[in-house]
Amino acid sequence: MRATFSLGQVAGIRVGVHWSVLVIFVLILLGLAGGNFREAHPDRPLWQYLLASTVTAVFFLLSLLAHEISHALVARRNGVAVDDITLWLLGGLARLKSEASTPGAELRIAGVGPLVSLVLGVLFALVAAAVAGLTDGGLVVEALAWLAGINILLAVFNALPAAPLDGGRLLRAIVWWKTGSPLRATAVATAAGRVLGWGLVGLGLYLVLVGAAFSGIWLVVIGWFIVAVATMEGGQARLRELLSGIPVSDAMTPDPMTVRATTTVSEFLADPRFRYRHSAFPVVDNGSTPAGLVTLKGADAVPEEERASTAVAHVMVRVDDIPTPRPDDPLARLVPQLEASSVHRALVLEEGRLVGIVTSSDISRVTSWLSSSSAWRRRTL
């Protein structure tokens, strides 16, 4: 899930918003202004309903952000780097560069999100009670009460023991701790996720049939999302098991062709060595130190009249934004990093020197070989 536009950084973590957030924002706005608020406090001017609904929707999105920020901060404290946070239609998503190394770290990272939502719900409820006791809060109290309820509901729903919800991560941590097998733990959590997801889809279809079309469709969407993500996570776990014990060096292309950072875009595109062999090439500076990765697509995007004066260094993806494993690093650990990378490639470095490149196609080639090899079949029996 890529952000449509950026909101900047919070605690050093990039925060973005996907365009689908507008959908949930509009739904909350219309639902509160035309429903909850109007029914609770009729005969108010329209602008008051709209203003109260807008402010409430903004605070709801901030609550989602606080939930995801808590995951990111605890992950960082437990040695798991965080790429960014994206708010979207079904909530928020904190992209972690790797997995937790222990069940305890997994438990802390997963558990803090529902806890933060629960705390926010209680705080909103206390403030609503205080405002109602001191003044005739009207729409203010109604908005605070709604925020309290939705945050408590978010905490309870996220605590359900099914992946990809936070409760699924908690279940995974517990099974991992009991069995010592992260793969088995993932299988249990993702199976629970598929059961929950299909259950929500079934409930949603029933609501559609009895006339509650809006609520039913919403449940179908959420259920289908849970099934899809749980299935994907299960597949990723099986892939990590398949690749266990395989080093990065077994998948990399050694000594790849490189481009000097000072090469112009026009020179790069005109050189047949670069134009026809691959779609991306490592960029090195004058000292042969890896500086980044340039893609043909990125170079093609430069206007023709600017290509002769634009160096490849200005259109490359910087090395800091690309996975840079060592040759002896586990290949399984690189897989989620490649998926999270915008270029789906990794530069393999040894003592700061470029020794190879790994692409998603290389991973597929290795997994195909392992899946078909007799050695792998004997290993899994």
Helix (H) or strand (E) holding 40: helix 37-40
Please tell me whether 285 is known to bind a ligand: no
Q: Which of 39, 68, 233, 267 is catalytic?
A: 68
| Coil, helix or strand at residue 14 | strand
Number of alpha helices (DSSP H) and beta strands (DSSP E) in the chain = 15, 11
Please tell me whether 344 is known to bind a ligand: no
DSSP 130-170: HHHHHS--THHHHHHHHHHHHHHHHHHHHTSSSTTSHHHHH
Q: Are 146 and 121 in contact (CB under 8 A)?
A: no
Active site residue 68: yes
Report CA torsion sign: 53, 58, 64, 70. Answer: negative
Distances in whole angstroms, Cα of residue 333 to Cα of each of 99, 244, 323, 337: 8, 9, 11, 7
**CA 262-267-272 angle, 5° bins:** 125
Please tell me whether 41 is known to bind a ligand: no
How far is CA 144 from its chain centroid? 29
Residue where the block lists tokens 């992260």: 182
Binding annotation: 67, 71, 166
Binding annotation for Zn(2+): 67, 71, 166
Q: Catalytic residue numbers?
A: 68
